[in-house]
Amino acid sequence: MTEVPGAREELDRARDRLRELFAALVTELTGDPGPRVPNPGTPQIAAGEESGEALRFEYSLHMQDLVPAEGVDDPARVAAEWLERAGWRVALNPARPPYPAGAEARLGESRLRVGTRPETGLLTITAYTPEIRLHEPRSAAPTPPGCPRCDRPLAWFRLGLPGGHSRPGRPGRLRPETWWECSGCDWLGWQRHEGEGLVPMLRRTSAEGGDCYRCGEEAATAVTEPRLDADRHLTAWAVCLACGTSNGMRWKPSLDR
Ligand SMILES: [Zn+2]
Ligand SMILES: [Zn+2]
């Protein structure tokens, strides 16, 4: 999977635009002149790989329990009017429990939702950038690199995303990495994109915490080599080879050795 030229920059620009607008809307609704809008670190997978298409990615922003400014007695309506002035297409939804009253807005492919809960009076705002295809479609049969340990050609295997088989009759969505293992020496690892560097993974036994917390499969998880971060904590990234669940790990190294 090679990156589509310019797609990363397009996604970054979409994120920055949405972040600015999000901050201005929070200011409008809460009166906070400099709200701390979260910075979404990495884009999430929004859709794709169901019909041989490449994955599409988006950034999302979410803030909840915001307190409306005095005088903003109907935040959804205030948001709707403000967004309309900014060129968004807006629909106002009355409360339909369990869904609160809110404003749904679109600008091109960007989406935004403002919700209010009458019982608490607090606000929730969620926004998404357009979905952008970041990579060329994955090749049906990626070219096997040589095993870093024993130089035999590696074997590609499909690792699905959790919940990727939710739609019957459709092939499940694959994890974004390209996964490889060695039939000779049991080496395991992945590439971010086909043709790029290989990242080795260490298989864990049940005793090492290798059982998957999500699907329960025993000794199914693998981790990256732990690394020391700037705060002198160890970090690693774990994946379940049965269900594709991944999670980051961070812990304090023990001082007694
Ligand atoms: Zn090998
Ligand atoms: Zn699992």
- Helix (H) / strand (E) element for 191: namely strand 188-191
Provide the number of structural domains found in the chain: 2
Structure tokens belonging to residue 195: 């043709």
Instruction: Evaluate if residue 154 carries a pLDDT over 60.
Output: yes
**Distance from Cα 155 to the centre of ligand 1, integer Å:** 10
> Is 148 domain-assigned?
no
The answer to whether residues 52 and 164 belong to one domain is no
pLDDT score recorded for residue 220: 95
**Ligand nearest to the backbone CA of 240:** 2
Instruction: Evaluate if residue 167 carries a pLDDT over 60.
Output: no
Question: Which structural domain range is residue 71 located in?
Answer: 7-133
> Is 2 domain-assigned?
no
Q: 3-state DSSP call for residue 192?
A: coil
**Distance from Cα 129 to the centre of ligand 1, integer Å:** 42
Alpha carbons 77 and 75: distance in angstroms, whole number: 5
pLDDT score recorded for residue 53: 67
The answer to whether residues 159 and 129 belong to one domain is no
**Distance from Cα 45 to the centre of ligand 2, integer Å:** 19
Tens-digit pLDDT profile for residues 117-140: 878 889 999 999 999 988 877 677
The answer to whether residues 161 and 129 belong to one domain is no
Going along 42-118, which residue ranges are E strands?
A: 44-47, 56-58, 60-66, 89-93, 101-107, 110-116
pLDDT score recorded for residue 242: 93
> Is 17 domain-assigned?
yes
pLDDT score recorded for residue 193: 77
What Å distances lie between residue 120 and 29, 75, 82, 104, 117, CA to CA? 16, 13, 23, 20, 6
What Å distances lie between residue 171 and 50, 53, 117, 167, 257, CA to CA? 6, 12, 39, 8, 48
What is the mean predicted confidence (pLDDT) over 36-60? 79
The answer to whether residues 160 and 247 belong to one domain is yes
Structure tokens belonging to residue 117: 């809960």
The answer to whether residues 26 and 70 belong to one domain is yes
**Distance from Cα 112 to the centre of ligand 2, integer Å:** 33
| pTM score of the predicted model | 0.60
Q: 3-state DSSP call for residue 169?
A: coil
> Is 150 domain-assigned?
no
Q: Indicate the pLDDT class of residue 172, thresholds 50, 70 and 90.
A: low
The answer to whether residues 77 and 166 belong to one domain is no
Q: What is the separation of C-alpha 172 from the centre of its chain, rounded to a whole number of angstroms?
A: 17
The answer to whether residues 123 and 205 belong to one domain is no
pLDDT score recorded for residue 256: 52
Q: Indicate the pLDDT class of residue 207, thresholds 50, 70 and 90.
A: very high
The answer to whether residues 43 and 122 belong to one domain is yes
What is the mean predicted confidence (pLDDT) over 215-244? 93
19 phi and psi angles, rounded to 5 deg: -65, -45
